[in-house]
Amino acid sequence: MPNLSQILRAHAPLLVIDAASARVQVGVLAADGHGRWHASETESGIAIFEGVDRLGLNPQDAAGLVFCEGPGSVLGTRTAAMALRTWHMLRPRPMFSYQSLALVAHALGQPETSIIADARRDCWHVQRLGSGLRRVPTAELSGLLVMPDGFRHWSALPPGVTRTPYDVADLLTRTREHDLLHLTEAPDAFLHEEPSYARWTPQIHRAPAP
């Protein structure tokens, strides 16, 4: 996996979109890493395009596209992915993705700390430095727990959880030499596993027998 510094040297300017949290963040990064950012808590379908407009960037002028695939807001992430797929269709160019919790874990640099986000059904996405992303039931969480600001949750927060800022501009700066990005041809929201569907056999409705 390449790091941000390598991608910037080859594909600047980069358009970055992160809609994993309630605060949608859009940035344009130059080859030297300096960037301009816009953030909004408006609905992602508006905030993403508003951010691009406020930054004065025509998406077609970006030499590379970067987005957060989650975990976090599935709707926000899929809205960002849809925009990237459209812009890429109009002008093909390299697209890269990163994961939100891995970004925070590497920025904090604390191997004993678990970075968490709600995974529904009383489970949590859990990321530790040096290990892969896992899905863990609430009852099995242990140790130091940290949750990024702006990440929604439906289950009650586990005891002792602390919050950490989710400022993408700062996090990317602190992790620019870490290999956190990967090339993608089909941007989409991260899923631990593909959804499964029950098979349904249609039947003609009949009145019950007398």
* Nearest to 154, CA basis, from 176, 197, 124: 124
What is the chain written as a DSSP string? ---HHHHHHHHPSEEEEE-SSSSEEEEEE-TTS-EEEEEE-S-HHHHHHHHHHHTT--GGG-SEEEEE--SS-HHHHHHHHHHHHHHHHHS---EEEE-HHHHHHHHHT-TTEEEEEE-STTEEEEE-TTS--EEEEGGG--SEEEEETT---SSPPPTT-EEE---HHHHHHHTTTS---EE-SS-----SS-------------PPP-
Give pTM, 2 decimals: 0.90
What pLDDT, on a 0 to 100 scale, did the predictor assign at position 12?
96
Average confidence (pLDDT) over 114-133: 95
pLDDT of residue 20 exceeding 60:
yes
The CATH number of 4-100+166-183 is which of 3.40.1030.10, 3.30.420.40, 3.40.47.10, 3.30.70.20?
A: 3.30.420.40
pLDDT tens-digit series, residues 71-121: 999 999 999 999 999 999 999 999 999 999 999 999 999 999 999 999 988
pLDDT of residue 67 exceeding 90:
yes
pLDDT of residue 200 exceeding 90:
no
| Tokens read off for 161 | 């959880």
CA–chain centroid gap for 136, Å, is 19
- Which residue ranges make up each domain of the chain? 4-100+166-183, 102-164
